[in-house]
Amino acid sequence: MTTASTETMEDKTAIITGGSRGMGRNTAINLARRGVDVIFTYHSKQNDAESLSNEIKGMGRRAAAFRLDTGDLRAFDGFVTEVRRTLHAWGRERFDFLMNNAGNSQHINIDEVTEADFDSVVNVHFKGVYFLTQKLLPLIKDGGRIINISSGLTRVAIPGSSAYAAAKGAIEVFTRYLAKELGPRRITANVVAPGAIQTDFSGGMVRDNPEVNKQVSAITALGRPGVADDVGPMIASLLSDDHRWVNGQRIEVSGGMAL
């Protein structure tokens, strides 16, 4: 005998880092469409954050935006305090979904990477994710979901991405440990690894450079680079109860790059 899930995502709450643009923004919108309220962070572009907040509120959902440098661990306590206040204002004690998405990029060959270069990437993509997740664990509901964003560069090596890809590789290991250690709380943890996506990440390199766009298209089975709307709906779906038995996995969303 099988039973279909009847749970909806109505009135659940998500936290998305780096939510004001690109894949984070697209995921926030797709979650709001499913009835989810969204707390998200942005790094510097307040106008983008306000625009997303207004869009989500226009769907009849709640939204709250906070400026946060996810590479600055000293800022995390203040952010968690704001999360608590927001949840309380919304009549809640806990949130349901965490998407660690904020990121920066770097294109430097190994022999030229400085310690400062290394730290700027690792602090955002690994150390910050590790300790922000740790600080938010008391606030995530039992039965919640964690999505960490990795990269196709953990599978395919492209020169100039060593520090970035190594940090993303660490995130993939960390995610498996989260899945194991949080199992008693029924919290799942998975990795989504996008391929090359046409956003403003890396200065819009994939979107705006015709040669890069052509190269990506040539090695992708579906014949083009991805767009944010190829990824956001997938993550929203993964967070639903339909995927409650997916845990500790790396899921690449790349249209079939470098197969």
Q: Helix, strand, or coil here: 19?
A: coil
| Residue 1, pLDDT score | 42
| Residue 227, pLDDT score | 94
In whole angstroms, give the CA distance from residue 129 to residue 100: 6
Q: Helix, strand, or coil here: 137?
A: helix
| Residue 25, pLDDT score | 97
Active site residue 177: no
Would you tell me the crossing angle of helices 22-33 and 228-238 to the nearest 10 degrees?
Answer: 50
Q: Which residues pair with 37 in a beta bridge?
A: 13
| Residue 120, pLDDT score | 96
| Residue 66, pLDDT score | 98
State the virtual CA torsion across 52, 53, 56, 60 in degrees, nearest 10.
-160
In whole angstroms, give the CA distance from residue 227 to residue 255: 10
What Å distances lie between residue 199 and 24, 104, 180, 208, CA to CA? Answer: 11, 13, 33, 9
User: β-pairing, 250-253 with 188-194?
Assistant: parallel
In whole angstroms, give the CA distance from residue 55 to residue 79: 23
Give 185-201 pLDDT, tens digit per residue. Answer: 999 999 999 988 887 76
Which segments of the chain have a pLDDT < 50? Answer: 1-6
**Active-site residue identified among 42, 130, 164, 177:** 164
Domain ranges of the chain: 13-253
For the domain spanning 13-253, the CATH number is: 3.40.50.720
